[in-house]
Structures are given as C-alpha cells and as structure tokens.
Amino acid sequence: MSQVTQLVIRESNQGPFLSQVLRFGTDSERLSTQQLAAIKGKAVLMSLKFADKYYNKYKMHLLEQAAHDVIGVVSLGLQELSQRDAAKALALLQAPEGPIKPFQKGWSMLISVSPKPLGSNNLFGDVDARLLDKISSPPDVEEWQGWQEYEKALVEHNKARLMSLIDQHFFACENDHPTMEDKLAEALLYRILCGQGSGTAPLKVKQDLKRRLARDIVLQEAWYDTDYLAAQLDLMLTELPGELIAGLRQELSRGFVSNLLHTLGFVRQYQQLQQEGASPEKLDNMEMRAGLKHPLLGWPLYHDF
C-alpha cells in the first residue's frame, strides 16, 4: 500500500489535489505528523475496502490500482467541496471522517455524469469504468487531469440530457437530426409556421409540416426578420430548465438565426412549387439540391411521398 502512504509530492501545485492539500498542510505547519498519519491510515483502509469490492485485494497490482482510484476520487470530491481552497480542503481532511466524505462526494459526482450502462457487466456499478480510469491517479503523477476529465464528462452528460429533453418536450415523434442545433431549429421552425400551441400544452413537432404547408399555412412577412426569429427562440427556450439554457446556447452556432431565415426563404419557394402542382419527386429533388447549396437548418428530414 505504498502508493497511498506516499501521498505528499515534490511540488504543492502538482499531482492529485489530495497530495497538494497534504503538502500545503505540512509546509504551512497546519497538519501535524499524527494527523497526517491518521489521514493516510484511513486512505489505506479505504483502498483495501475498494479493492475488496471491485478488484482483488490479494493481488498487489490490483491493490495499488485501488489506491490510485481512491486518490483520484478523493481529489475530485475534495476539490468540489472546498472549491479548490487548500485551507478548506485541509479542514475537511482533518475532520473525524477524514477522506471518507470527499470520497463519497467524488463518487457521487462520477455517478451523476456516467453514461447509464446498457447491461449489468459494468465493474463499478453506476460509475463508468473508462471515466474512473481517467480520474484515477498515482500519488506521484506530475499533473493530475482528473478534474478536467470530470468537466469533459459533465459537458457530455449535459449535452445528452439536453438532446433527450428537446426530444421529449418539442417532438411528438422520433427525429433523425444528429445535433442539438438541428433539433432545436426544426422545433422552432415548426412553431413559427404552425403556431405556438394552446394553453399549457406547447405545440409538438409532427411529420406533417410539408402537407400543412401545401394546405393551410399562410406565410407571414413578419416571420422574415432576424429580430423576430431571435425573440421566438428566446420564448421557446424559457420552456426548458433555466440551468440548461446557457449550455444549450453554447451549442448554437453564431449563424443560427440567419441560417433559419435562409430556410424560411426556401419554405417560400417550396410552397410555391406545391401550389403549382409539383410532384412529390420534384419537390424532393428541389429540396435535395437546395440543401447541397446551403444547409437547410430546421427543415424536416422525412420524405413526404
């Protein structure tokens, strides 16, 4: 278990956050030899329990891997609980539970951003094994990237959550749009062309826009204005949880509104061909050619034969 007992490293700003905090404590004389030994002792016990649960505590290389995992997870939770304040982090480690609370916090953080396993073969239960491997850290590593890896996983988790939320909230059927921007653009285009819905039930996208365009949609000049489109986007976003809106806006390109305006220009041409009695095949060919020249942001992908 030498990997745990060698937690203090050469530079206070290097290595896993746990090692940085212990180094800070000893250098500032805020951490006594007895307290340091107690923290390391608890870390050793935690590593043994971790290895017993997930690995094999009788195989040295797996016991060392468990120690690496514990150091990484404790570092993650400790950094979150202390907001990277070394003094606050040290106080947490000096509490009676020592590194246990930071470990629990770090583990819950990993659970919250881990993709849900498809089967029951995931070694670490609700924690993704690949993510844990990136968080895991030998105590003498030059630069710990665990926090950055967690932030990457958090971004991907929020993106997946947003994609699912957009599907559930704005679509009445499955859609084939590959990106969040494409999904949001179709929902916004559908709302503009078909109305906002009524009462507390917002209008959901169905695969009927092209038929409705030929039958009962009257295009309004007011729609062909970037300020109007931006205002409608803001209105639609208010239906989503506030904490997710900032992340969603980051996913939208700078040309989102202008590209949607371009698509509305295509809608005018498409409707005119419909009114002239064009065949579904001719409409589909026109749609394909227009999309090759300039991507039709928000235009539905289904065929309407």
CB neighbourhood size of 227 (10 A): 8
CB neighbourhood size of 7 (10 A): 24
Q: Which SS3 state, helix, strand or coil, does residue 205 take?
A: strand
Alpha helices by DSSP H, listed for the chain, are 2-5, 17-27, 33-54, 60-82, 86-94, 100-113, 129-135, 146-170, 180-194, 209-215, 226-237, 242-251, 256-275, 280-293
pLDDT of 143 reads: 84
DSSP code for 222 = G
The DSSP result for 60-72, as a single string, is: HHHHHHHHHHHHH
DSSP code for 198 = E
pLDDT of 9 reads: 39
The answer to whether the beta carbons of residues 62 and 51 sit under 8 Å apart is: yes
Over residues 236-255, the pLDDT tens digits come to 998 888 877 887 888 899 99
Q: Residue 291: which residues within 8 A CB-CB, separation 6 or more? A: 299
DSSP code for 301 = -
The answer to whether the beta carbons of residues 136 and 70 sit under 8 Å apart is: no
CA-to-CA distance for 304 and 299, rounded, in angstroms?
Answer: 13
- Phi first, then psi: what are they for 201, rounded to 5°? -105, 100
CA-to-CA distance for 212 and 226, rounded, in angstroms?
Answer: 24
pLDDT of 194 reads: 92
pLDDT of 10 reads: 40
Q: What is the dihedral of CA 44, 50, 51, 54, to 10 degrees?
A: -170
DSSP code for 93 = H
Over residues 49-82, the pLDDT tens digits come to 999 999 977 788 888 999 999 999 999 999 999 9
pLDDT of 162 reads: 83
CA-to-CA distance for 131 and 126, rounded, in angstroms?
Answer: 11
Q: Which SS3 state, helix, strand or coil, does residue 28 take?
A: coil
CA-to-CA distance for 193 and 64, rounded, in angstroms?
Answer: 61
pLDDT of 305 reads: 54
CA-to-CA distance for 114 and 229, rounded, in angstroms?
Answer: 36
Angle, CA of 67, 71 and 76, to the nearest 5°? 150
Instruction: Write out residues in the chain with pLDDT < 50, as ranges.
Output: 2, 5-11
